[in-house]
Amino acid sequence: MPCRHGRRATMGGMPVWVVLLVAAVACTWAAATLLAKVNPDDPIPVVGSPPVVPVAFVFILGAGVATGWLAGSFASEGALGPWGYLVGALGVLVPWVVVRVRHNRQVG
C-alpha cells in the first residue's frame, strides 16, 4: 500500500525494504561470525546453544531479526505482497545457516 501521498517509501530511489534487508543480512552475518569466533573449537549446534554465548551476540542477532521483520513488513506492502515476510525471514536465516555450516565443517 502506498503512503498517503501516493509514493512508495524509498531511500535514494531504492525501496526501503531492500535497505532494511541488507542491514538484516549484515547484522545476522556479524552475529553468527561473532559466535563462531568465540567458539573456535566447538561446533555450533542446530538446537541448543554452544558453550560460550557473548551478550553482544544476543543484541546483534536481535537487531538482525527485528530489521528483517521490518523489511518483510515494508516488502509486503509493496510488490511482493505476503511473500515479503518470507524474504525477510530468509534474509535472517540464510546468513546464519551459511556461517554455521562453514564453521562446523572447519571444526569437525
* pTM of this structure: 0.87
- What does each of the 108 residues of the chain score in pLDDT, given as a tens digit? 555 555 667 777 788 999 999 999 999 999 999 999 999 999 999 888 899 999 999 999 999 999 999 999 999 988 788 899 999 999 999 999 999 999 999 997
- 21 contacts 71 by C-beta, under 8 angstroms: yes
CA distance 28 to 47: 17
Q: Domain spans of the chain?
A: 13-41+52-107
